[in-house]
Structure 1
Amino acid sequence: MNQKEIKNPWTTLSGEEKYENRWIQVTEYQVLNPSGGKGIYGKVHFRNKAIGVIPVDHEGNTWLVGQFRYTLNEFQWEIPEGGAPLSEDPLDAAKRELQEETGITAKKWTRIARLHTSNSVTDEEGFLFLAEDLEYGVNNLEETEADLKVWKLPLQEAIDMVMRGEITDSLSVIGLLTLGRLKKI
């Protein structure tokens, strides 16, 4: 079935911006739901797209980055990732994020996934890349990443961490499991 041919069953009556900063815009909509009932719907619009990178060397190792995530109030391991302006090419952003967080550059790039991070409340779009044929240099951390930890480990161990619930970031989970499936790990 062609998804573009399916008619939107929701009716938007009005919308009001409730909050805005340089990263997000929150809008509350008055709606009629698919059954015709009145309700509200909140939408978080991201001003950036989500970018994630899984670097893999010739020995099957990858790199995770760890940092304290303010929204969760806990330390998290995840793949190198970040945001890119909506107008920026996702691959260019992936190259920048990998170098910024790990110091790694890659000669071979493969896009492994396009996704929406939480389509029930946001329109954020994400892109995941595999980076191979790696070269190593010095990272260039942003101000918010001053405490960033970088960890080299076997790709299989990172996938096992997902399966044990030790990695919960959506880009990391989707990226690592997708790559595991593609590489038949």
Structure 2
Amino acid sequence: MDFTEKTINKQSLYQGKIIDVNLHDVTLPNGKTSKREIVNHPGAVALICVTEEKKLVMVRQYRKALEKEIVEIPAGKLEKGEDPEDTAKRELEEETGYQTDYLKKVASFYTSPGFADELVHLFETGTLTEGKAATDEDEFVEVIEATIEEAEKMIETEEIHDAKTMFAVQYIKQKLSSTR
């Protein structure tokens, strides 16, 4: 069976600085019609960074959509036409002050495929060198370095409360346990 939903009409509901929202009228596989609210996002990168002391580098920041602070791995939005690796290096330095000369792509994943097209490119860094953070003027973050055990506790207490960071913790835990 073909599950494709064909768009028969599209209406722009909102065009913003980061996202656009469109309403699609679609024909369903059974021939009936329905509506889909779609959030279009330019995509993002996220970074799994581990220090020489085997600590995961993260940032604490306030997330207005959640009305709370959470701890996350460094991440940021792709600029139009920007290569994800370039975005990753820029975001790493802007948010944490760290630089790296090596990036390995771990995975790409959709954050909320039921209503959004945001694709996150996840990278693992190589050796980190310290620099100076240069966050955007509307961005306030605190750099945190945590052991895997500390990060797992943050997941339990919901200080870490997003999928990309939970994935990063599990990825590094598995990687470190396989190198012992």
Q: Does the pair score TM above 0.5?
A: yes
Q: Is this contact kept in 2: 1:66–1:77, CA < 8 A?
A: yes
DSSP-derived class of the 2:127 partner: strand
Q: Is this contact kept in 2: 1:57–1:132, CA < 8 A?
A: no
CA distance in 2, matches of 1:90, 1:133: 19
CA distance in 2, matches of 1:12, 1:143: 39
Counterpart residue type for residue 24 of structure 1? I
What is the deviation of 1:80?
Answer: 0.7
CA distance in 2, matches of 1:89, 1:159: 32
* Larger fraction in strand: 1
Counterpart residue type for residue 101 of structure 2? K
DSSP-derived class of the 2:112 partner: coil
Q: Aligned match of 2:11 in 7, 16, 23?
A: 16
1:117/1:73 Cα in 2 relative to 1: closer, same or farther (>3 Å)? same
DSSP-derived class of the 2:13 partner: strand
Q: Aligned match of 1:26 in 21, 27, 30?
A: 21
Partner of 1:125: 119
1:180 paired with 2:141, answer no
Counterpart residue type for residue 45 of structure 2? I
Partner of 1:111: 105
CA distance in 1, matches of 2:71, 2:64: 14
Counterpart residue type for residue 161 of structure 1? M
Counterpart residue type for residue 137 of structure 2? E
What is the deviation of 1:163?
Answer: 5.3
Q: Percent identity, aligned pairs only?
A: 29
Partner of 1:3: none
Q: Aligned match of 1:41 in 24, 30, 36?
A: 36
Tell me the TM-score normalised to structure 2 length.
0.89
| Cα root mean square deviation, aligned | 2.0
Q: Which has the larger displacement, 65-74 or 81-90? A: 81-90
CA distance in 1, matches of 2:60, 2:49: 15
Q: Is this contact kept in 1: 2:5–2:27, CA < 8 A?
A: yes
CA distance in 1, matches of 2:56, 2:99: 13
What is the deviation of 1:81?
Answer: 0.8
1:33/1:183 Cα in 2 relative to 1: closer, same or farther (>3 Å)? farther
Ranges in structure 2 where 5+ consecutive residues have no aligned partner: none
CA distance in 2, matches of 1:148, 1:72: 16
Alignment map for 1:50-129 (pairs within 5 Å): 50-129=44-123
Tell me the TM-score normalised to structure 1 length.
0.86
Counterpart residue type for residue 27 of structure 1? N
Ranges in structure 1 where 5+ consecutive residues have no aligned partner: 1-5
Counterpart residue type for residue 67 of structure 1? Q
CA distance in 2, matches of 1:157, 1:112: 23
1:108/1:163 Cα in 2 relative to 1: closer, same or farther (>3 Å)? farther
1:182/1:164 Cα in 2 relative to 1: closer, same or farther (>3 Å)? farther
